[in-house]
C-alpha cells in the first residue's frame, strides 16, 4: 500500500504536471484575449461617452446661438441697413458682439448681415464686406432659395463655425436678407479640456482649402484646416505622422504612440462630412477598470484551479474583493457633483455626500426622515415642476414612465430657491428587490442665465418696457383671442411731439432721458392687463385687452395729460404726445389694424399734435 500510494502520488503528480503544461498556454491565451477585449470595451465606452458629451455641447451651442439669432431680428435698424445697403451698420454689429462678451457668458460670438442676394453687408469681427457668400457657403445659397431658420456647421472664408441664420422680411413680407449669428468651436474645445482632460484638433475637409482665404487660426495639416486656435502642435504632429487622411476618414478610435484618438464627424447640410472633431488622450490617463477587473477574475480562477485545497483562503479573498468593490462604489457615489440617492419608494436607503452638503441641517438619513417622509415634501408646487403626485401618479413613477421627457423640481432650502433636473431609474439587487435610483442635477445658474437672455429678447434696453419683437408676437395673439371670444380690444399709437428737435438741440443723451421719463410717467397709469411697448425711436404702443374704444379714450386722455405734467426738472422743455386710438373690428387682421392705428396717429399730428384721434372704419 505505501508503494501504491507512492505510485499513485507520482502518477497524480505527473498528470497534474501534464494538466498544468496544457492548461497554462490555454489560460494564457484566454487571459490575453480577455484583457484585449476589456481594453476595447473600455475604449468603446470612453468613445461613446465622449461623443455623447460633444453632441450635448454642440446641441447647447445650437440652442444658444439660435436664441441669439432670433433676438438679433428685433432691432429695426438691421432691416433698414439691408434695405438701404448701409455698410455703417458694422459698428453696431461690433458693439452687439462686445456687449454679449461683456454682459453674458457667451464669448466670441460674431454677427453678420447678408442681403437677399447673399452679399455680406457687414460683419462684427472685420470691416470686410461686399463679398458673395452664396458662392462659398451652401447654407446661404439654400436659405436664399427657401427663406427659413437654419442651424448648421458651415465653412466660410474665415473658419469652421456654428451658424444660426434667421431670414428678415420687409413690411410687405418680402425677403430682404438674413441675420447670421456665428459661434466659434473654441468654447467646446475648452469645455472638453476642463471636464474630460482631453486635447482637441478640429480638422476641416481639404476640399475647403482654396475657400479659406482668410483662415482665422492659420493652422493646416497638409491641406486640412485646423479650426480650433488652441490645438497643440504636438497633437497636430502626431496626426500628421499617423496620416491625416486616415484620421479624417476614421469612424472608430485609433491607438497610436500611447495616444487614443477618437473622431466625431461633422456633416454639412447635404449630409456630407465637412469636418472631424479629433480628441486625443494619453493611455496613461486611463484607469482601465475593466482590465483590472478581468485580471482579478483570472487571478481568482487561477487560484481556484491551482489551490483547490486553499478554498478557505480563496473565500477570504473574495470577501476582501467584495469589500473593496463596495468601498469603490461608495467612493464613486460620494465624488459625484449631483445629488444621488437610492430609495425603496418608502424611504431613502443610501445618499451620497452631495445630498448632505445640500441638506446641511441633517447629518444622517434618520435625521432627515424624522422631519420629512419624502424629499418631495420640499418640492415647491409650481406649474411646470414636479409635485408629490403628477396626474394622479406618484412622482417617482411619473419620472420613470416618462423617461424621454425632462423633469424639473424647484426646492427651497434655507430661504433660497434651487432648480434641479431630475432623473429616476428602476434598479434591483440579486434577490429581485426593487429600488429607485434618483439623480438631481442643480441647474439653478443655467436657468438664471436663460431667464436673463429671455428678458433681453423681449424688453427694450433703454426704457425697460417691452420691445417691438414682443409687440409683434403679442398683437397676433390678442387678435386671435378677440376672434375666438369676441372680446373688445383697443390699441393706442403714441408719438412724442417734436422729439427730433429735442435730440438736435440737446443731444441724444437728453433724448434718452426724455424717453425714460415718458415710460416712467405712463407705466403707473396702466392696468396689469395692458401691454406697453417701445416700437421705434420715439414711438410707443399700448395694447388694451378687454377694453372698448370709449374706455380706451378715457385711459388715453389720462396718459396724454400725465405726459404734459412731467416736471421740467426731468425734461428740458414741455413734453407733449400725439396719440392714434383704434378698436379692433371682427374683420380686422394684423395689417389692417396696424394701418388704422397709424393713420389715426398721423391725423393727430396733422391736426396740431398734443391730441388724441380715433378712427372708426366701417366695413365695406
Supply the residues annotated as catalytic.
538
Q: Nearest-CA neighbor of 248 among 266, 270, 230, 233?
A: 266
Q: Nearest-5° angle of CA 196, CA 450, CA 161?
A: 55
Give which of 78, 86, 150 is closest to 121, Cα–Cα: 86
Instruction: Please name every residue paired with 446 in a beta bridge, in sequence order, or none if there are none.
Output: none
Owner of C-alpha cell 483662415: 215
Beta strands 109-115 and 120-123, pairing class: antiparallel
Whole-angstrom distance, CA of residue 255 vs CA of residue 213: 34
Beta-carbon count within 10 A of 85 CB: 13
Are 211 and 136 a contacting pair, CB within 8 Å? yes
Which CB contacts under 8 angstroms, 24+ apart, belong to 410-413? 410/379, 410/380, 410/382, 410/385, 411/378, 411/379, 411/380, 412/378, 412/380, 413/358, 413/359, 413/378
Evaluated on CA atoms 61, 64, 70, 71, the torsion sign reads negative
Phi, psi of 123 (to 5 degrees): -125, 145
Do 478 and 489 meet the contact criterion of CB atoms below 8 Å apart? Answer: yes
Q: How far is CA 9 from CA 2, 4, 248, 598, in A?
A: 10, 8, 64, 112
Amino acid at each position: 500500500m505505501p508503494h501504491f500510494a507512492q505510485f499513485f502520488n507520482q502518477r497524480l503528480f505527473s498528470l497534474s504536471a501534464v494538466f498544468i503544461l496544457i492548461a497554462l498556454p490555454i489560460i494564457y491565451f484566454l487571459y490575453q484575449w480577455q484583457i484585449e477585449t476589456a481594453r476595447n470595451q473600455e475604449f468603446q465606452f470612453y468613445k461613446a461617452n465622449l461623443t455623447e458629451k460633444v453632441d450635448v455641447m454642440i446641441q447647447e451651442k445650437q440652442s444658444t446661438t439660435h436664441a441669439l439669432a432670433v433676438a438679433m431680428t428685433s432691432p429695426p435698424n438691421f432691416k433698414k441697413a439691408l434695405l438701404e445697403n448701409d455698410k455703417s451698420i458694422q459698428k453696431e454689429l461690433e458693439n452687439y458682439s462686445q456687449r454679449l462678451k461683456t454682459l453674458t457668458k457667451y464669448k466670441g460670438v460674431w454677427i453678420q448681415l447678408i442681403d437677399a442676394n447673399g452679399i455680406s453687408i457687414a460683419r462684427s469681427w472685420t470691416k470686410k464686406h461686399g463679398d458673395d457668400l452664396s458662392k462659398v457657403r451652401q447654407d446661404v445659397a439654400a436659405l436664399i432659395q427657401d427663406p427659413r431658420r437654419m442651424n448648421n456647421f458651415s465653412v466660410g472664408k474665415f473658419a469652421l463655425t456654428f451658424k444660426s441664420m434667421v431670414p428678415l422680411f420687409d413690411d410687405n413680407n418680402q425677403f430682404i436678407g438674413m441675420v447670421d449669428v456665428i459661434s466659434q468651436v473654441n468654447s467646446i474645445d475648452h469645455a472638453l479640456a476642463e471636464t474630460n482632460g482631453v486635447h482637441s484638433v478640429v480638422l476641416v475637409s481639404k476640399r475647403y482649402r482654396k475657400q479659406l482665404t482668410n483662415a482665422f487660426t492659420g493652422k493646416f495639416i497638409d491641406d486640412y484646416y485646423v479650426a480650433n486656435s488652441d490645438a497643440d502642435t504636438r497633437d497636430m504632429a502626431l496626426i500628421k505622422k499617423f496620416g491625416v487622411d486616415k484620421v479624417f476618414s476614421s469612424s472608430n478610435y485609433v491607438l497610436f504612440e500611447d495616444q487614443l484618438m477618437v473622431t466625431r464627424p461633422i456633416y454639412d447640410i447635404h449630409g456630407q462630412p465637412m469636418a472631424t472633431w479629433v480628441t486625443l488622450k494619453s493611455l496613461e490617463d486611463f484607469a482601465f477598470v475593466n482590465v483590472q477587473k478581468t485580471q482579478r477574475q483570472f487571478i481568482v480562477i487561477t487560484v481556484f484551479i491551482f489551490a483547490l485545497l486553499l478554498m478557505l483562503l480563496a473565500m477570504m479573498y473574495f470577501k476582501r474583493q467584495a469589500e473593496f468593490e463596495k468601498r469603490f462604489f461608495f467612493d464613486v457615489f460620494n465624488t459625484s457633483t449631483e445629488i444621488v440617492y437610492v430609495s425603496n419608494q418608502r424611504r431613502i436607503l443610501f445618499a451620497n455626500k452631495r445630498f448632505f452638503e445640500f441638506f446641511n441641517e441633517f447629518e444622517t438619513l434618520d435625521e432627515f426622515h424624522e422631519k420629512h417622509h419624502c424629499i418631495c415634501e420640499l418640492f415647491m408646487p409650481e406649474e411646470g415642476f414636479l409635485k408629490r403626485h403628477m396626474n394622479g401618479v406618484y412622482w417617482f413613477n411619473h419620472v420613470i414612465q416618462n423617461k424621454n421627457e425632462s423633469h424639473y423640481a424647484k426646492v427651497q432650502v434655507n430661504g433660497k430657491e434651487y432648480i434641479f433636473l431630475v432623473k429616476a431609474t428602476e434598479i434591483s439587487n440579486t434577490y429581485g428587490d426593487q429600488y429607485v435610483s434618483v439623480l438631481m442635477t442643480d441647474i439653478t445658474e443655467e436657468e438664471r442665465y436663460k431667464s436673463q437672455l429671455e428678458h433681453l429678447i423681449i424688453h427694450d434696453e433703454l426704457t425697460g418696457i417691452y420691445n417691438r419683437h414682443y409687440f409683434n408676437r403679442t398683437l397676433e395673439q390678442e387678435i386671435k383671442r378677440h376672434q375666438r371670444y369676441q372680446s373688445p380690444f383697443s390699441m393706442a399709437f403714441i408719438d412724442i411731439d417734436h422729439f427730433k428737435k429735442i435730440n438736435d438741440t440737446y443731444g441724444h443723451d437728453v433724448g434718452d432721458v426724455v424717453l425714460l421719463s415718458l415710460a416712467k410717467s405712463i407705466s403707473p397709469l396702466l392696468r396689469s392687463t395692458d401691454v406697453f411697448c417701445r416700437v421705434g425711436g420715439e414711438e410707443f404702443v399700448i395694447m388694451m385687452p378687454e377694453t372698448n374704444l370709449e374706455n380706451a379714450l378715457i385711459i388715453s386722455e389720462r396718459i396724454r395729460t400725465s405726459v404734459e405734467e412731467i416736471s421740467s426738472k426731468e425734461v428740458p422743455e414741455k413734453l407733449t404726445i400725439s396719440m392714434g386710438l383704434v378698436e379692433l373690428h371682427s374683420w380686422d387682421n394684423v395689417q389692417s389694424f396696424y394701418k388704422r392705428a397709424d393713420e389715426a396717429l398721423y391725423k393727430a399730428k396733422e391736426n396740431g399734435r398734443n391730441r388724441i384721434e380715433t378712427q372708426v372704419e366701417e366695413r365695406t
